[in-house]
Structure 1
């Protein structure tokens, strides 16, 4: 690596196969509903965030596990510019998700972790050992071993960016004070803050600042935009007016583009604007990984507005 290269981002993240069903409405308990469309594509919060960061021009190395029959997913990440040298092919079944997407673009997801929960502790130590102090470590809550990895990362001097999704009770017991940057949506913020989900953004930010005073916070609120908070300062980025088709990977797109801009040394306002624009483009398309826009599309939208542009690259099962 050249001396002037920005710190590498290591993403210990999930890789899932997304089974996506288009439905008129999200299925209710006891209801049987016919789907109008079905496809299989690359997904998982980790893979989506790595792919978004690579498409945004960032330097990212993905650490993850896939069943050997699903090597196409690793190849799709590599084609996007992700370093996949540490994506291991194993015998365990790949993680996968069953995703409903309704006519309003809302979704409901059932997740099976599979190989994402089969990483041995020695592999986590290897990750930290290969990283250089000052590198970024991106984490989500779809992989096992976070309780062991976070202290190792802190000892190594890595800057941890954490997206605690899907949120569960175990997140509260993690040493979150060791995170340099926390990405949360409204339900995640409310659960961490001990407030109702309908709480005002300022109340959520106040509570999170009290709990994690040293941590940089990014709160994403969909149509209400996004907030950044650090060292007593707050910034708000309004949402961009677009017609959403599918919001499945909106948060992951936001995170990947935000971190790439941060890695490039852009100011917070530019990071927020770029990430919001990328997410606005993505929600106008169906799918997860395949909805993530390219850097050229985002650069154009920053000057012309986030109207839907040409079809993105589509990493799907062969």
Structure 2
């Protein structure tokens, strides 16, 4: 199974701070670093490191050409990344002394995807393949509709959450991988049982992966439910935890690993990622994960 990630490509500008900046406050950063990023790029690298056959498509400006090199070095196919964007998308990330992060995004070229690009890319994939989407590019609704008509399986990570997601029809989505904040925004519910009930009412075939931070993960579909506790580690930077988990989980699914084992492997990969600084650079290799299972 090929996995097509139609996703964002960002430059992450990371500032280390004692605490997140408050309204009206001027705060000195103790350190500054740049990393390749974007949920799309992070997830493609995680997929590839976990052993998936992954193809990334998206758009960058000339200032982001190094992102293609980084993806290629991780064995991600980059044939369908366009370089015609104005400015490559970027993120300003604050990382607190406790390892938590907050992120300000600028979409840039990620928001300049054209209908022609979508059509030209999707023609290369079929019903045996899986499409992965996040909410950092434009025209999600069109991409979902076009891919669904071709019979592709569709996995959605609805981040960042906004009206584009809440108005999206979930009947065409196969895998929904989301956190508590996103789940509450989509369903209007606060309790996990109610969240699952509401989501499955939108699509009985939906496979839901609800990530709960330090509380672990819950998987649920119409016939089964699994809970995976988180691995306890000393977190340094949680920026790529969710992306690492998603990439490893979907990679295992694409290789027909059972749900319980897939969750365990993905949770272990995420636990390693949070002990390192950066986003893409913190994602562990398959060998690193397996050696610690």
Q: What range is the shorter-chain TM-score in?
A: over 0.9
Q: Which of residues 267, 277, 285 is equivalent to 1:276?
A: 267
- The alignment partner of 1:192 has SS state of helix
Name which of 58, 70, 73 aligns with 2:67: 73
Decide whether the 8 Å contact of 2:128 with 2:152 is kept in 1: yes
Residues 285-315 of structure 1 deviation map (CA, whole Å, 9 limit, x = unaligned): 111111111111101111xxxxxxxxxxxxx
C-alpha distance in 2 between matches for 1:245 and 1:253: 15
What's 1:308 paired with? Answer: none
1-structure distance, mates of 2:201, 2:223 = 11
Pick one of 251, 254, 258 that aligns with 2:242.
251
Q: Please, which runs of 5 or more residues in structure 2 have no aligned partner?
A: none
Take 1:264 and 1:134, find their aligned partners in 2: how far apart are those partners? 12
Equivalent pair of 2:85/2:108 in contact (CA under 8 Å): no
Runs of 4+ in 1 over 6 A off after TM superposition: none
- Equivalent position of 1:225 in the other structure: 216
**Aligned to 2:123, what secondary structure does the other structure show?**
helix
Find the aligned partners of 2:179 and 2:85 in 1 and give their Cα distance.
34
**Where does 1:1-318 land on structure 2 (aligned, <5 Å)?**
7-195=1-189, 199-302=190-293
Matched residue SS, 2:60: strand
CA drift at 1:200: 3.2
- Measure the CA separation in 1 of the matches of 2:185 and 2:3: 27
Distance in 2, matches of 1:23 and 1:16, equals 21
Which deviations, in whole Å up to 9, do the C-alpha atoms of 1:215-259 show, x marking residues without a partner? 111000011110111123211111111111111110000000001
- How far the C-alpha of 1:267 sits from its partner, in A, is 0.3
Query: What TM-score do the two structures reach when normalised by structure 2?
Result: 0.98
For this pair of structures, how many residues does the alignment match? 293
| Residues 150, 175 of structure 1: 8 Å contact kept | no
CA distance in 1, matches of 2:68, 2:122: 21
Superposition deviation, residue 202 in structure 1: 2.4
Deviation of residue 211 (structure 1)? 2.5
**Could you tell me the TM-score, scaled by structure 1's length?**
0.90
Which stretch of structure 1 is more off in the superposition, 158-167 or 124-133? Answer: 124-133
3-state SS in 2 of match to 1:231: coil
RMSD after superposition: 1.0
User: 1:8-29, CA deviations, whole angstroms, 9 ceiling, x for partnerless residues?
Assistant: 0000000000000000001101
* CA displacement at 1:50 relative to structure 2: 0.1
Question: Using the alignment, how far apart are the partners of 1:151 and 1:204 within structure 2?
Answer: 25
Q: CA deviation at 1:203?
A: 2.7
Cα distance in 2, alignment partners of residues 270 and 24 from structure 1: 38
